[in-house]
Chain A
Amino acid sequence: MAQQLEQLKGSHLVSLDEWSAEQILHLLRLAEWMRTHRDDASQLAAGSVMATLFYQPSTRTRLSFETAMLRLGGHVAEYEGRSLDTDDLVFRETIHDLIRSLSQIDDIIVIRHPREGSALVAARASDVPVINAGDGGHLHPTQTLADLATLLRLKGGKLRNLTIGLCGNLAASRTAHSLVTTLCRLGHNLHFVLVSTRQNRMPDWVLARLDRTPGFSYEEVDSLRPVISSLDVLYMTSFYPTHVEPAGQARQASNSTTNGKRLSRDYRVTPELLRAAKPDLAILHPLPRGLEIDRAVDDDPRAAYFTQISLGVDVRMALIATLLGKLPQQFDESVVFAEQGSDVDE
């Protein structure tokens, strides 16, 4: 049994930066175990109650968490988004007071809130584990875990010697930032191809992390077409950041790229584009998508964005079980990814 995971009992997940690379890798292995041992996992969290507080709607993320808890045999208390109206200044309760109270009632709390840093406030107020399910444009660590699980699954359990394309509004994509910076800690010998317009470039602080990571390199280009054939992974992100209201600045800023209903072919994945791509390319997207992935691509075996959602449930099962300290006795991590030769041991 992984000691690193046992150490996480009772702790929070606000940012993956607080976890060691080993802890993240162990969790990803546990997620793979969850995927292949549904029956063994089905009573791990029996008797535990998870509170979900979504101040911002995100049906997919909320259902993924709730389903993960149900698959572990636990229960879910869903707090109505409407009663948590953040604009109601008179009746608004502080995050601190609400979470402090809920932590007397429930065993684990999942929070999504538009304020950046809200999950840290919640974690500090809580007597039970808090999971950050997105704090504004800041962090969304379980999305990154799902992205990493998908890469491991589709790339033979290894995060090495890959050319990874990222395309979209890289300036505003928290999931792209988080994926790259976490790969800087977990991966080996990765080359990044950053595809964006000049206005939507990857921020300098992320590029600085890449510069500082031995064996890592990157290039910045303004079209998918000349680089598609070199990619092992293509991580697409929406030009409209999903955590920003449609009327928000980010949408206005990206108008020049998306030009209303049209999105330049330089930033779209279409069946034509994929003719030049490798047969084992993995196309990821945190969803919801805009026009950047043509629906005709969905049936292509290289489309991995629905796999990502399925693996998202597995990582959330692993996460909930870990934070609750309900790790499976049968979990033998040496066999996980074994058929592909694990990279995760290093």
Chain B
Amino acid sequence: MSMSELNASAATTPEVKTQATATATHAVAADEVNDLTLTRLAAVLGRGYVIEHVPAGGSLSLLNYLKIDPSEETVVIATNVASRAAGHEDLLGVRVDEIDTDMLALFAPHAIIARVEEGKPVRTVDPVLPARVVNTIRCVNPGCVTQTEPYLDQVFVLADKNLGEYRCEYCSAAAQF
């Protein structure tokens, strides 16, 4: 990514934020702001994925979970913009061919993922909660066998689909993200 591209996306954020604050009672205005950001992110990105509805300020840790290294891949981020849904959110664009939708479903369950081609969002991808998550979440229960027994994978299983609740396969402790 060139410096001018980076500046373009970085410049979007404060501007958008001001507008959103000014028009906080107008959902339509916030919508437009958000769409504008999405379109801009897609334009800057060229190809890859744009993820909407990332919890505000959460895009950097999400990159981490997605195992996307910002020094290796092209990444465009807009943080804390007025959300179409409610409050504020991050938008995250990544120029990669494949994205781990399991991880997205897990860490940003309300996210909407748009495939970007030729600088435009072309279709959305539905993330599905994975039934098992291996070596991603660590069990925090101090009494869990995974704290002392070596060579064990950290395995969490989807305990409640509706709540998106994961529990440690060994000790049944609820996952803490």
Contact = CB atoms under 8 A, between A and B. Distances in A.
Contacts of A116: 141, 143-145, 170-173
B150 A94 contact: yes
B143 A137 contact: yes
Interface in B28-46: none
Contacts of A96: 149, 151
13 contacts: A94-B149, A94-B151, A95-B145, A115-B143, A115-B144, A116-B173, A117-B146, A118-B149, A120-B169, A120-B170, A135-B145, A136-B171, A138-B171
A138 B171 CA distance: 6
A184 B171 CA distance: 21
B79 to A, nearest CB: 34
B60 interface: no
B168 interface: yes
Contacts of B151: 94, 96
Interface residues of A, number: 16
Contacts of B172: 116-117, 138
Interface in B127-167: 141, 143-152
Given A117-B172, A118-B145, A135-B145, 19 more contacts: A95-B145, A95-B149, A96-B149, A114-B143, A115-B144, A115-B145, A115-B147, A115-B148, A115-B149, A116-B144, A116-B173, A117-B146, A120-B145, A120-B170, A121-B149, A121-B170, A136-B143, A136-B171, A137-B143
B154 to A, nearest CB: 11
Interface in A113-158: 113-118, 120-121, 135-138
Interface in B66-99: none
A252 to B, nearest CB: 16
A95 B150 CA distance: 9
Closest 9 CB pairs of A and B: A117-B170, A116-B171, A117-B145, A115-B145, A117-B171, A118-B145, A116-B143, A136-B143, A116-B144
Given A95-B145, A115-B145, A137-B143, A121 B171 contact: no
Interface string A83-102: 00010000000111000000
Interface string B94-121: 0000000000000000000000000000
Given A138-B171, A138-B172, A117 B144 contact: yes
Contacts of B171: 116-117, 136, 138
Nearest to A248: B143
Nearest to B139: A117
A99 to B, nearest CB: 11
Contacts of A114: 143
B96 to A, nearest CB: 35
B74 to A, nearest CB: 42
Nearest to B171: A116
A87 to B, nearest CB: 11
Nearest to A208: B160
Nearest to A15: B172
Contacts of B145: 95, 113, 115-118, 120-121, 135
Given A136-B143, A137-B143, A117 B168 contact: yes
A88 to B, nearest CB: 12
A120 B143 CA distance: 14
Given A115-B143, A137-B143, A121 B148 contact: no
Contacts of A86: 148
A125 B148 CA distance: 16
A117 B146 CA distance: 8
A136 B173 CA distance: 13
A115 B147 CA distance: 9
A141 to B, nearest CB: 13
Nearest to B142: A116
A181 to B, nearest CB: 11
Contacts of B143: 114-116, 136-137
A137 B143 CA distance: 8
Nearest to B170: A117
A121 B152 contact: yes
Nearest to B163: A208
Interface string A53-80: 0000000000000000000000000000
Contacts of B144: 115-117
A61 B173 CA distance: 25
A100 to B, nearest CB: 12
